[in-house]
Amino acid sequence: MPLSVSAIPLRPEWRQFKILVWSYQTDILKDFELYQKLGIGGFHIDRGAGQQDKVRFSLEKKFPYYVDHAADKGFLFLTGQNAESVKGKSDLLIRPHSLADPQTIAALKAHLEKNITATRNGFVLAYSFDDEISLAKLISPADVDIHPLSLARFRIWLKQRYGAIEKLNQQWDSRFKHFDDVMPQGFEQIRQKIKELPMSQWNLSPWMDFRQFMDSQFSAVLSELVQYSNQLAPDIPAGFVGGQSPNTWGGYDYAKLARSVQWMEAYNIHETNEILRSFWNEERRPRMQTFFSTKNPKADSWFLWYYLLHGNQAVVAWPEGWFHPSPQPLPEAERGAYIAPYILADAAVFKEIQGKISEPFVDSKTKFMADPIGIYYSHPGIQASWAMDALLHGKTWSKLFSSTDNEHQSMGILRRSWCKLLEDSGFQYEFISYLDVMEKEPDLSRRFKVIILPKMLCISDKEARVLKKFVGQGGTLIADQFCGIFDEHGKAREKRASDKLNITLTELPSAYLEKRYSSYGEEFRTNIARILKNAGLTPRVKIYEAGKSPNMIEALFWKNESKVYLGIVKNPVRIEGLDGAETDIRLEFQEPVELKNLRTERSLGRKKVFEDRFKPYEANVYEVIGYSYTYPHF
């Protein structure tokens, strides 16, 4: 397993939300006045070596930056022919720049030393190794890495896991004499075996074990690079940007990645943002989003407020067209004058959201206050679910693009559906890491009253024991018909692991995202509200917009020592319903509280029901005084 790295506290200057501008079609040395006019919070240095003028500028202006491609491009993100060599292939493959090869690691560290040394004395917030890193090409299928050094480590890993070759043979249905003889199977080999079999006869182990090992190898390399970066710049967090969705491919097991880096900018595909928020809540680490302007000022305003209230400490802005009306830079005499009108329209938003209002959410001591509801994150389940999806594509599975997976991955769609269903019903949740359960066997009843097992195809004996204990202590398990078909390696069980668990079966809410405003969506909300009420849970606050509820306004509670904060923000699936005018809202609490609107600085008094105003493209932020809810911990 990869070594867990410790969090690094944000430097004192990073106490407010930051909009950090990527250096595309802009130059901080020439456009700084424009940044100031907009209230931009920082900039980007690419790599670092040879850019000491920007470091000096940062110190002179007290203007922060982050560094990307500190480990260069082409190693963690394959390029050119190296990338092409792993695309669209159905065989087991050797990864160019194998991460098991010491020469690859030495090259990565050489780039880190050169770039970090050049930039560490400035006002640097974070180091990113590279953008959209992957074992192959994003999350496109590629059965890497059978480099001899990688195979040698895989065999050691198997021996540590199984102990005896007889146990591996029993699991894999194989006949190896020694661990040194073991070869993994690629998905094409597995597909040929299972394509005509019922799921009750599937055995994905020779492939899933290899994929799980490669996830561990990927995370272990990141851990090593973080530790090396910390030696060079001890007070600056190290991580990466362009994180992909949780996936079978690319190395994207978020239970492992969350332990391996100190910050991340991950695209919020299939709820990566809420997964990291959960895994990094007790020991908070910086999370960022990429900010691509929609050219709609209200939609852009909503985006920034939404991710601030969801606990992100910054966004990386892609400034295409912001400071120049065409791809070609303006003549020197005209620089410093042009800002795109749709960006200039949000200047006040940029300034406010990077000001005092953001401090409670950026502070690493502030913790998210979820309801006692858990959503189980099982990476073996993600792998088995992908295999089910891939069978529909036949032998063309290896040609699938990352974008296809992002749009159609059944597990990802289901995960997002559960999140939106809970949020629309007035509840918040935490993801539960399968690694924490496997390693610690925690008493889940200390934190949760309800646990959802979304398409949890794979359940180990240890997980089954923990979940059975949870039910025995009064907890409610919500699952579907796929629960516990396989063990943690992907081998079909004679009897489902869920057979011994007292679970509440429910229909898969996969269509909820498309039908949330219909009678279908209302029926799902009614059903989940009934199940949660039977478990003793009702919404902590109910919000009415123009007298209507539900209205897809999300309530998010945060706590910093004795202070409790409530943010409310629209929660669309797409950019929908954000252009409306300011409207009346009503907040109904279960018990009397004192409420203060921190944006208007208006005290609303102490009571159970409050009236206020709300803009659907912004957010309301309150301090809740006298709130008695106790956040449960392990």
Write the secondary structure of 318-335 as one string of H (helix), E (strand) and C (coil). ECCCCCCCCCCCCCHHHC
pLDDT at position 633 over 60 = no
pTM score, whole prediction: 0.96
How far is C-alpha 196 from the chain's CA centre? Answer: 35
pLDDT at position 258 over 70 = yes
Please state the domain extents for the chain: 18-135+217-364, 368-532, 539-625
* H helix count then E strand count, the chain: 21, 22
Over range 244-262, report the average pLDDT. Answer: 98
Three-state DSSP state, 574: coil
106 Cβ contact partners less than 8 Å away, ≥ 6 residues apart: none
pLDDT at position 357 over 80 = yes
Structure confidence at residue 191 (pLDDT)? 98
Contact between 588 and 613 under an 8 Å Cβ cutoff? The reply is no
Whole-number Å distance between alpha carbons of 148 and 161:
20
Whole-number Å distance between alpha carbons of 412 and 375:
13
Protein fold of 368-532:
Rossmann fold (3.40.50)
Structure confidence at residue 550 (pLDDT)? 72
Upper half-sphere CA count for residue 112 (Cβ side, 13 Å) = 27
Asked whether the domain spanning 539-625 has the same topology as the one spanning 368-532, the reply is no
Contact between 131 and 137 under an 8 Å Cβ cutoff? The reply is no
**Per-residue model confidence as pLDDT tens digits over 43-85:** 999 999 999 999 999 999 999 999 999 999 999 999 999 999 9
Whole-number Å distance between alpha carbons of 456 and 205:
16
Tokens 């999350």, residue located: 139
Of the candidates 379, 344, 541, 539, the residue with the CA atom closest to the CA atom of residue 457: 379
Structure confidence at residue 167 (pLDDT)? 98
pLDDT at position 615 over 50 = yes
Structure confidence at residue 634 (pLDDT)? 40
| Two tokens, residue 101 | 């090869």
pLDDT at position 589 over 90 = yes
Preceding omega of 145 cis (within 30 degrees of 0): yes
Structure confidence at residue 517 (pLDDT)? 85
Choices 3.40.50.1820, 3.40.630.30, 3.20.20.80, 3.40.50.970: CATH for 18-135+217-364: 3.20.20.80
**Per-residue model confidence as pLDDT tens digits over 3-32:** 799 999 999 889 999 999 999 999 999 999
Preceding omega of 198 cis (within 30 degrees of 0): no
Choices 2.102.10.10, 2.60.40.1180, 3.40.50.2300, 2.40.50.140: CATH for 539-625: 2.60.40.1180
196 Cβ contact partners less than 8 Å away, ≥ 6 residues apart: none
Contact between 578 and 569 under an 8 Å Cβ cutoff? The reply is no
Tokens 């953008």, residue located: 131
For 337, other C-beta atoms within 10 Å of its C-beta total: 10
Tokens 């969506």, residue located: 521
pLDDT at position 630 over 80 = no
**Per-residue model confidence as pLDDT tens digits over 373-428:** 999 999 999 999 999 999 999 999 999 989 988 888 999 999 999 999 999 999 99
Q: What is the rounded average pLDDT for all residues in the chain? A: 94
pLDDT at position 436 over 80 = yes
